[in-house]
Amino acid sequence: MTNECKPILNSSTLIIENGDYIVLNQKEFGYQLKLKKEFQQFLSLMDGSRTIEQLQDEYIKYFGRTISVDALEEFIRERLSKCGFIEGYEKLKPRNSQSILKAKIIILETGILEKIYTRHLNFIFETKMFYSLLFTLFSANLVVFLTHKSVYLNTKSGFVFSILFICHIFHEIGHAMAAKAKQSSPGNIGFGFYFVLPVFFVDLSDTWNIQKKDRIIINLSGIFFDYLIGLGFGLLFFITTNSLFLMIQIILFTKTFYNLNPFIRSDAYWVISDSLDKPNLNDNSSIEVRLFFKRLITFKTNNNWKPNIPLLIYGIATTCFWLFIIQSILIQSKTIITDINEFLYALKQVLFFNNWDVSVIISKAYQILFISFALYLLFKLLAKWAFLLHQKLVVLWKRA
């Protein structure tokens, strides 16, 4: 894209007003972008009659602040053109929902969710009712957990594993039911891998068109269903005194703390994203951290940049979390040779000495696959960073 280029807003781009923001919805390719409402008038100027430099002049007149041609060109190219909001970007491909997830498997399709949904449950997702019930369910589950936390958790039970698998699906159904109650259209429910972590998911990309407070309720509805189902198993335990039900309740309750981890794309991540009105929370926080350290190291002042303190704190905390994860993966990778030897030894015992204790084989195979997959994803991430750094150096070299 050159300065002589005259950007044209794509005719298939739908602009939806949402409070103080607008949502750009690219119907043809499935991309969405949330911007402050003040940008709506500026976007209307992209009608093919103005060059980048002329748009820069209009930007300065309209917003009363300066912006470089390079910065404006980068915004149009990276944020608008690559998502199909501007015509003429030849490399654009249709967006794949949950593209950050790998090895996705669809479990429940949208049509089945439509059959499950009933409007009679909409009252549960009204703001006051929802938070009152959420607090009550959390408190009840916490009491059961604190009074029976010493119970032995036999997570190897096939029955327990099957029940937990079904409960994970109901967690996603909770998100979908809340989305339907808020007049949104949830997509498919499925299973995949987020980096090295196995996760269930539901496509909620359509929810950016509704109010922030409703999106937060949708984000928390999965945990709401976990507490509801967990309390049901707790009641079954008190009725039958079968410790298996208690075990499931405790596992479900402790699992919700994983969903409250804000540094992976869990329920808490989306709650923070909606609370801060930042649809691309990871990207925005990374930019905030990069600008902060750039200013800290170079001592250069940039009048156009004012730190977003909550976003900056989140970005630094996320960086520390992933550095810890990378360190843990590298430490665990030191044992992979030992794990392979133990796996082969256990396999030999089964094949040649009729020792049918396969628990070692299963555990070691899982560890080997987990570490190998983690190292593979880490290598891909580093390769991507190296490629981006190379592109940046090429641009700086050409400018020099």
DSSP state letters, 53-84 = HHHHHHHHHHHSS---HHHHHHIIIIIIGGGT
Mean of the pLDDT values across residues 145-172? 75
Q: Using CA atoms, how far apart are residues 243 and 346, in angstroms rounded to an integer?
A: 33
Q: Could you tell me which residue, 57 or 193, shows the higher pLDDT? A: 57
Q: Using CA atoms, how far apart are residues 385 and 387, in angstroms rounded to an integer?
A: 5
Q: Which of 32-46, 232-246, 379-393 holds the top average pLDDT?
A: 232-246
Mean pLDDT across the chain: 79
| Angle at the Cα of 60 from the Cα atoms of 57 and 62, rounded to 5 degrees | 105
Q: Using CA atoms, how far apart are residues 323 and 317, in angstroms rounded to an integer?
A: 10
Tokens of 379: 């290598």
Mean of the pLDDT values across residues 64-71? 77
Q: Does residue 3 carry a pLDDT above 60? A: no
Q: Does residue 290 carry a pLDDT above 90? A: no
Q: Which of 190-194, 256-260, 390-394 holds the top average pLDDT?
A: 256-260
**Whose structure tokens read 């997830």?**
101
Share of the chain above pLDDT 90, in %: 16
Q: Does residue 88 carry a pLDDT above 70? A: no
Question: pLDDT value at position 20?
Answer: 72
Mean of the pLDDT values across residues 290-311? 72
Question: Taking the domains of the chain in order of start, what are their residue ranges?
Answer: 13-83, 101-275, 299-399
Tokens of 354: 């009729």
pLDDT band at 194 (very low <50, low <70, confident <90, very high): low
Mean of the pLDDT values across residues 340-369? 69
Q: Which is it for the CA torsion 197, 200, 203, 204, positive or negative?
A: negative
Lowest mean per-residue pLDDT among 216-220, 284-288, 372-376: 372-376
3-class DSSP state of 102: strand
Q: Does residue 90 carry a pLDDT above 60? A: no
Q: Is residue 331 within 8 Å of 289, Cβ to Cβ?
A: no
Nearest to 206 by CA among 173, 182, 172: 182
Q: Is residue 214 within 8 Å of 226, Cβ to Cβ?
A: no
Q: Does residue 310 carry a pLDDT above 50? A: yes
Q: Does residue 91 carry a pLDDT above 50? A: no
Read off the DSSP letter of residue 47.
Answer: B
Mean of the pLDDT values across residues 101-110? 76
- Tens-place pLDDT, residues 111-141: 777 777 777 888 999 999 999 999 999 999 9
Question: pLDDT value at position 343?
Answer: 72
Question: pLDDT value at position 143?
Answer: 92
pLDDT band at 151 (very low <50, low <70, confident <90, very high): low
Question: pLDDT value at position 206?
Answer: 76
pLDDT band at 303 (very low <50, low <70, confident <90, very high): low
Contacts (Cβ under 8 Å, ≥6 apart) of 263: 269, 317, 318, 321, 322
